[in-house]
A = this chain, B = another copy of it.
Amino acid sequence: MADGRVLGVGLIGTGFMGKCHALAWNAVGPTFGTMMRPRLVHLAEVDATLARQRADEFGFLRSTGDWRDVVGDPEVDVVSITAPNPFHAEMALAALAAGKHVWCEKPMATSREDARAMLEAAKGSGRVAALGYNYIQNPAIREMERAIGEGTIGRVNHVRLEMDEDFMADEDAPFAFKNGAASGYGALDDFAVHPLSLLWRLAGPVEEVIADQSRPYESRGGRAVETHEIASALLRLSGGVSGTLSVNRAAWGRKGRIAVQVFGSRGTIVFDQERMNEFQIATREGDGRLAGFRTVLVGPAHEPYGRFVPAPGHSLGFNDLKVIEANEILAAIDGGTARLVDFETGFAIEEVVHAMARSHRERRWVTLGDAG
């Protein structure tokens, strides 16, 4: 730390994810004792007054109503982009063009063309360009990945993924932006990329898909709903691994469920984000009298849990995942290897979503990589 370098941080957007980034930038130094220290320099929010207030709250030096001020600020080294999805591409491209590192919330963009442009811009930039896929940072997920990598459950042969919440479940709610085609496909955009990011870590890339989308409610407030709150898909990964993915943003009672089941030749691993501090594993064992699914509580044995709490079973929270992600961003900027979803992987994940949507439209299996 004596020689600790300072990293100037810019933040665009101060909603759910904006605050989450702000908290992470505040906490990453004290939590990890990082050599490189974030300095919260410049914050943008559409309303300049609100921007000033949030800057004070979050600890940023400067504020602005124009995000271009952040991108253009010479004291800013990295830009957190948490504005609404339609703005991601323009902001990320501008930031990369200005030589900034970029930490952008998912999805990359609202069109494949924009996403592709972002990917291209990142490639030649020499800058870190990463996406906010914080669920992969969970020590539970990391341990599952490690255990799978070490062969604890043998060769993976089947996966099942679910993501469910109920914020679109109320049939009496009025028509909202998220019900219109401009917002995207529906649950596929909102949710599918999350379990897919876990899948990518745990079992590799998807090769073929066929999906089906449906609507619990045909209309809201007299207007036809254009998105699909529910989607399901069959998946094929390399090596004959099969799988399913189901997402539902109208699932009463579900609040943050991301259920993962990975089946292998020697065991099974199960996880649910609603109980993010544990996972379950069963392996083939002895005579079966004491065999069963083990509930593993995350603890210091599972990196980097110990950076937060030295005692096991004391629970990390959702925001802590973002702190871990911030630490990975710092590592990447520092030139080290980092555990992140970069623009290339993020683009690949979103391609799966687009392929799903297409397979639904065309009612047929779609192979990834086929011209879309």
Cβ of A53 within 8 Å of any chain B Cβ, yes or no, is: yes
- Give the interface residue-count category, chain A: 35 or more
Q: Which residue in B1, B268, B299, B315 is a CB contact (below 8 Å) of A315? A: B315
- The B-contacting residues of A in range 208-255, CB under 8 angstroms, are 210-218, 230, 232-234, 236, 240-244, 246, 248, 250-255
A10 → B minimal CB distance (Å): 16
Bound-complex Cα distance A250 to B158 (A) = 10
A313 with B26: CB separation less than 8 A: no
Knowing A236-B212, A309-B318, the reply to whether A23 touches B29 (Cβ < 8 A) is: no
Cβ of A264 within 8 Å of any chain B Cβ, yes or no, is: yes
Cβ of A117 within 8 Å of any chain B Cβ, yes or no, is: no
Bound-complex Cα distance A317 to B296 (A) = 17
Chain B residues closer than 8 Å to A200, beta-carbon distance: none
Chain B residues closer than 8 Å to A244, beta-carbon distance: 232, 244, 246
- The B-contacting residues of A in range 22-45, CB under 8 angstroms, are 22-23, 26-27, 29-31, 33
Bound-complex Cα distance A147 to B292 (A) = 15
- The B-contacting residues of A in range 275-293, CB under 8 angstroms, are 275-278, 281-284, 287-293
Bound-complex Cα distance A281 to B294 (A) = 9
Chain B residues closer than 8 Å to A248, beta-carbon distance: 158, 263
Cβ of A171 within 8 Å of any chain B Cβ, yes or no, is: yes
Bound-complex Cα distance A59 to B25 (A) = 13
Cβ of A112 within 8 Å of any chain B Cβ, yes or no, is: no
Cβ of A320 within 8 Å of any chain B Cβ, yes or no, is: yes
Chain B residues closer than 8 Å to A19, beta-carbon distance: 30
Knowing A56-B4, A299-B288, A319-B317, the reply to whether A234 touches B212 (Cβ < 8 A) is: yes
Chain B residues closer than 8 Å to A243, beta-carbon distance: 232
Chain B residues closer than 8 Å to A233, beta-carbon distance: 234
Bound-complex Cα distance A284 to B244 (A) = 28
Cβ of A177 within 8 Å of any chain B Cβ, yes or no, is: no
A167 → B minimal CB distance (Å): 8
A234 → B minimal CB distance (Å): 5
Chain B residues closer than 8 Å to A152, beta-carbon distance: 290
Task: Give chain A's interface residues, CB within 8 Å of chain B.
Answer: 1-2, 4, 16, 19-20, 22-23, 26-27, 29-31, 33, 53, 56-59, 143, 146-147, 152-154, 157-158, 160, 162, 165, 167, 169-171, 210-218, 230, 232-234, 236, 240-244, 246, 248, 250-257, 263-268, 274-278, 281-284, 287-297, 299, 301-302, 308-320, 363-365
9 smallest A-B Cβ distances: which pairs?
A: A255-B313, A253-B282, A317-B317, A1-B56, A256-B313, A33-B57, A214-B242, A157-B216, A292-B296
